[in-house]
Structure 1
């Protein structure tokens, strides 16, 4: 059985845009895209006139165990493991509906994201492809400690890294600085040292895995980059020296612009902890400017929302893309950052992340072309995962 969708606009994820084109799917793989697909026969043919096809999105920074409530750490502290698992499943479904077919979950208490990933792979539940970190690794009392593994010194960090990899983590998450949501810590203050992070990076590399570092302050970002971290999360305070260092090391930025945006927008709700509001307001403009500077300098970007933080809901991936566009990224660059470049961060770009023959058939159909209207990112009509329609609006 084969499926061809024709008369469509296609963004391949590699920067190419094909008009009046087609895509041919057989089983769970893409057989042909573009002119070759136009001339091939198929068992089922769909006329997609006026529609646009993109690779399935990757959200490279989410928290499936957090719902976007005003105080997510309070929620985590009262959730049982069973309730958290149900929460992961409910939020995973919301991701699929928004066109996100793959997620990188960067922090779940009890490593529940890894169990959720395994349940999806075993066919017990449906959801996005999950690349999970399990519990993040933090210094004692460090940012995110309510859902993390606390460790101090290179030896302890190395042991916890090995334990996390033993649990099946796809990526190790480390906290290089303080953050907005944790009380009593400064987003600009360094936490794990360069050498501590380097120990974890070494363990990840030995296991063939990648790393991510929550890093908001300049010194902490530089420590993480020199330690060999794969991605910098947030990157709120980036100066020219730090940006050049990231380019030198090939470090990818996952900006999560939506996270402070939603805290600032909802500051008067009376629900968000006051310490988080104060810190988010302090960081907000610097974050946007750092992102603009990084894009203009040529830092590679992978899209991620930090979904689960206050009022930052799962299923609202489009908001991050809109904020990235405001921050000077072109529509095609945004699409690449949310597809092929994201897959490359996870070393799976040869299997997924773009619409090319031989790759897994994860793709979405939009009702319009995002280069004509940015609102197209909110008009996800159909989602295919592994060649199977998993959602239709």
Structure 2
């Protein structure tokens, strides 16, 4: 049966906005959107006057095994595999209810994100589409080493990449620099070398998979870009030369603006390790300016939060979009970054990421238009995943009469 939602504002995800129009779905698929949908006859027609429809959102960087507590590394260290699996599910449900229908999980101990993905795909439980990296690959003692795979040298990293792909990873996560949360490492310091990362990139490409690099310092970012990494995570210290290199290579930036924001906001809470607070405070302003420079220069950007890091809780994807807007990105481009550009960076844009005929019926109904008020991303009325309504507010939409 065809379901048609009419009289809505529609953001397609590829930069277009249509007003007073329709979207029609049949089963798990979009049958039509825009003028073609306006003309379609449908078994059920719902009046969406005043509502805005956007594609299902992608959070391109999160950690389902972390809850956003002050010291998430300690939380991971104390978890059993079973408890971690339960965390993955609870946090994924929070994401889904907020309108995030696809997540890229970049680092889970024991590769639990891959098993969790499989449980959703098999129909065992409901959740967002999960694209997982399993355990990240780091140098010995590198950023995140307590819950990652340590490897050194081109041969060592290549073997680790192959083992991670064998486990079923959708994306290979590599640590190109130090980071904020790991004690004793400098966010600006390079870690895995260009050649080490290139070995992993080659293996991912052979398997038809993508790659992501945690890369905060300038030298490490350049190493990752030259190695052929698909996405740069964080990109805190970007200069003009590095930005030009990213544009030349078509590298996508996932800025995770919310991660340092929440650490700085809660610096006095006492729950965050002192070393992490100091590093986040030192990085905060330069991170914001790096994002602005990358945006102005035309770097491809996909939205990701790093949810699970201190006070950066699951289900608050809207904060990342609000920060992107505050730092200069317009609403249409924000929606593209959180939908089509994300799907393209994952090589799944042929089936998801935009509201087009034949694509999966993953979409979100908002109560307001975010171009009118950026806080509209928080006003989620309904979330559809594969044509099924998986979340709806108490104020349900009624079938149109006549």
Class of the TM-score when normalised by the shorter of the 2 chains = over 0.9
C-alpha separation in 1, matches of 2:114 and 2:40:
40
Aligned ranges 1:25-174 → 2 under 5 Å:
25-174=25-174
Describe the SS at the equivalent of 1:20.
Answer: strand
How far is 1:2 from its partner? 1.0
TM-score by length of 2: 0.98
Q: CA deviation at 1:103?
A: 0.3
Runs of at least 5 residues in structure 1 that lack an aligned partner in the other structure:
none
The residue matched to 2:246 in structure 1 has which SS?
helix
Q: CA deviation at 1:39?
A: 1.1
- Per-residue CA deviations over 1:231-259 (Å, capped at 9, x if unaligned) read 00000000000000000000000000000
Cα deviation digits, residues 37-86 of structure 1 (max 9, x gap): 01111111100000000000000000000000000010001100000000
Q: Is the aligned partner of 1:309 residue 2:312?
A: no
Question: For each residue in 1:86-127, what CA deviation from the matched residue of structure 2 results, as whole angstroms up to 9, or x when unmatched?
Answer: 000000000001100000000000000000000000111111
| 1:140-289 to 2 correspondences below 5 Å | 140-289=140-289
Instruction: Name the SS for the 2:315 alignment partner.
Output: coil
Match of 2:397 in 1: none
Q: Aligned partners of 1:375, 1:326: CA distance in 2, in Å?
A: 12
Gap runs ≥5 in structure 2: 394-402
Moved over 2 A (4+): none
CA displacement 1:261-291 (0-9 Å, x = unmatched): 0000000001100000000000000000000
Q: Which residue does 1:19 correspond to in 2?
A: 19
Query: What corresponds to 1:295 in structure 2?
Result: 295
Q: Distance in 2 between matches of 1:327 and 1:147?
A: 33
Task: Number of aligned residue pairs: give it.
Answer: 393
Deviation string, structure 1 residues 150-204 (Cα, Å, up to 9, x no partner) = 0000000000000000000000000000000000000000000000000000000
State the SS of the aligned residue for 2:361.
coil
Report the 3-state secondary structure (helix = DSSP H, G, I; strand = E; otherwise coil) of the residue aligned with 2:21. Answer: strand
Residue 229 of structure 1: how far off its partner (Å): 0.1
1:361 counterpart residue number: 361
* Coordinate RMSD, CA, aligned: 0.4
Distance in 2 (alpha carbons) for counterparts of 1:16 and 1:165: 37
CA distance in 1, matches of 2:141, 2:71: 18
